[in-house]
Copies of this chain bind each other. A is one copy, B any other.
Amino acid sequence: MQPTDGPLTFEELQLATRNRGMPLEALRYDITPVGLHYLLIHFDIPRIDVRDWRLTISDFNEPVALAYDEIRALPRTTLPVTMECAGNGRARLHPRPLSNPWLNEAIGTAEWSGTSLWPILERAGLPRDTAEIVFRGADPGIQGGVEHFYERSLTPAEVQRPEVLLAYEMNGRPLEPQHGFPVRLIVPGWYGMTSVKWLTSIRTVTVPFTGYQQTPAYHFTGSEDEEGEPVQRIRPRALMVPPGVPDYFSRHRFLDASRVAVFGRAWSGSAEVTKVELGIDGVWSEATLGESVGQFAWRSWSFAWDATPGEHVLSCRATDAAGAVQPIEQPWNYQGMGNNSVQTVAVTVR
């Protein structure tokens, strides 16, 4: 299916009614409630009986199969992590790549508890000729004409990061089924497709993995034929809680003239966010940064806006310590990946 400037398709609607965005007023919570975190599920939520479930670690020097309770008995780490779908912003591209039609809301920050992955793999013994490690989920389906289980790979260097977790709790409770029960991968800093849900196996491969979800999917590419560059770390983004009150259908915002505290969050998967700017009718001013919720989680920002009567357009943009800054307009790509162009909110001040 080629990208289109045509109207939204029935297939996109089906995806939008299944998958779930975070309403932007939920930016106010440091930790997103479970039922407000974004969800993107390629196939179906699988049915897993935890008594039968094992995580098999194969093609290692000493293969092993771990039960749920065995994983829970390992040293426990809890990390707040901001996660974002690589397709966030897709439906704002022209032409529009055909997949889940996200606008801005495919985000969330949860407190994930689990155990570091690397000590387990180290114990199993990484074969010397390992090129990558492949993570398989329990969810089968068809995409791009290929029937497969959802699978993604990482290099040994990536999985050695201590913050890469086998997670079994979200916000202090066992994972709900849609978030990967019983155990999922969490890879802080990377877009969400990397954090494989419903893990069933981890294996090594001696050549780079080319399963569908690794290649061709999740690449920055200019066309169907070009391979392009893999999508990996989350690009910087700032979002604001739309101020005032909404009109139900248009979501247009209305507020009374006053000094308004515009509030939002900003994050980047590559480096700390060092600056957030609020644009008011095209004039940018620096916002005040709050603390980060954690090393791998968003930070708050705010700006006191003297809202005067009339029609206004607010925007916000983040810059990170690596110098990356959100673009006003996004260079287009064929799959609609990583569109972190700035959010704009139209407001009528009365």
Contact = CB atoms under 8 A, between A and B. Distances in A.
A12 B8 CA distance: 10
A33 to B, nearest CB: 4
B248 A142 contact: yes
Interface string A241-252: 010011111110
Contacts of A141: 245-248
A1 B43 CA distance: 35
A176 B248 contact: no
A247 B177 CA distance: 20
Nearest to A1: B249
Interface stretch (A13-21, A225-233, A296-304): A13-21
A246 B43 contact: yes
Contact of A176 (B15, B33, B42, B245): B33
A17 B17 CA distance: 7
Contacts of A44: 23, 25, 242, 245-246
Given A26-B45, A45-B25, A248-B142, A8 B11 contact: no
A119 to B, nearest CB: 30
Interface string A69-111: 0000000000000000000000100000011011101000000
Contacts of A118: none
Contacts of A101: 13, 17
Nearest to A149: B245
Interface string A41-65: 1111101000000000000000000
Contacts of A17: 16, 21, 101-103, 105
A247 B145 CA distance: 8
Interface string A201-223: 00000000000000000000000
16 contacts: A8-B8, A8-B13, A13-B103, A16-B16, A17-B101, A17-B102, A18-B105, A26-B177, A33-B176, A33-B177, A35-B35, A35-B39, A36-B177, A36-B178, A42-B248, A44-B242
Interface of A: 1, 6-9, 11-18, 20-21, 23, 25-26, 28-29, 33-37, 39, 41-45, 47, 91, 98-99, 101-103, 105, 140-143, 147, 176-179, 242, 245-251, 254
